[in-house]
Amino acid sequence: MATFHGIRAAVPLLRASGGGSIVNMASVSGVRPTRGEGPYSAAKAGVIAAVAVAALEYGPDIRVNCVSPGFVRTPLNAMLADDPVVVSEIATGNTARACRTARRGGAVVAFLLSRPQRPT
């Protein structure tokens, strides 16, 4: 529900300012779930669908995207991220062939939020 409420709150403000961008966080689990994450995967699939609908309804003045990262190395999962066997399994299952970092994900979000300059 947070995605829905966040978009609903942002749209009037963005419209009043002439447009802008919204980026939500989903997860690769929303399109490729793994065992034991049914509720999480369903919630992230809902985020992906809500973002797709919002992009259709509010574009082109408001761009709406979501980022769906795979495993991201954080202090919370350091014990997994530091285990070479786990890292090897994660790297085998994703296109980047590595564990991502929050900084790298932040760069993707910053890019999606950036507003291209319009020709004068």
40 as an active site residue: the answer is yes
Say if CB 69 and CB 29 are below 8 A apart.
Answer: no
Give the side-chain half-sphere CA count within 13 A for 91.
12
Q: Which is the catalytic residue, given 40, 67, 87, 108?
A: 40
Say if CB 53 and CB 5 are below 8 A apart.
Answer: no
Tell me the domain boundaries of the chain: 1-68, 71-120
Which pLDDT does position 68 carry in this prediction? Answer: 86
Which pLDDT does position 75 carry in this prediction? Answer: 81
Give 27-73 as a DSSP string: -GGGTS--TT-HHHHHHHHHHHHHHHHHHHHHTTTEEEEEE----EE
**pLDDT tens figures, 62-114:** 999 999 887 777 787 777 778 888 777 766 666 555 557 777 778 888 999 98
The structure's pTM equals: 0.77
Higher pLDDT, 8 or 71: 8
Looking at the predicted structure, is the pLDDT value of residue 1 above 50?
yes
